Amino acid sequence: MGDITAELEPGPILTDEWWYPQVVPNALETRPVFLLSDPNTLPELADRLAANAMPVFTFATSLEDGPPPKLATHSSSGRRIVPGETFKVPERSMYFQQFRIEQQGS
pLDDT in tens, 32-81: 889 998 888 999 999 999 999 999 999 999 888 778 888 889 999 999 99
Laid out side by side, the sheet with 13-15 consists of: 33-35, 13-15, 56-62, 94-102, 80-89
Output 27-32 pairs: Cβ under 8 A, ≥24 positions apart.
Answer: 30/5, 31/5
Count of structural domains within the chain: 1
Q: Mean pLDDT, the chain, as a whole number?
A: 85
> What percentage of the chain carries pLDDT values higher than 70?
91
Q: Residue 3: what pLDDT?
A: 58
Q: Residue 58: what pLDDT?
A: 92
Task: Count CB neighbours of 60 within 10 A.
Answer: 26
Q: Phi-psi region for residue 11, left (φ > 0), alpha (ψ -120 to 50) or beta?
A: left
pTM: 0.86
Structural domain boundaries, residue 24: 4-102
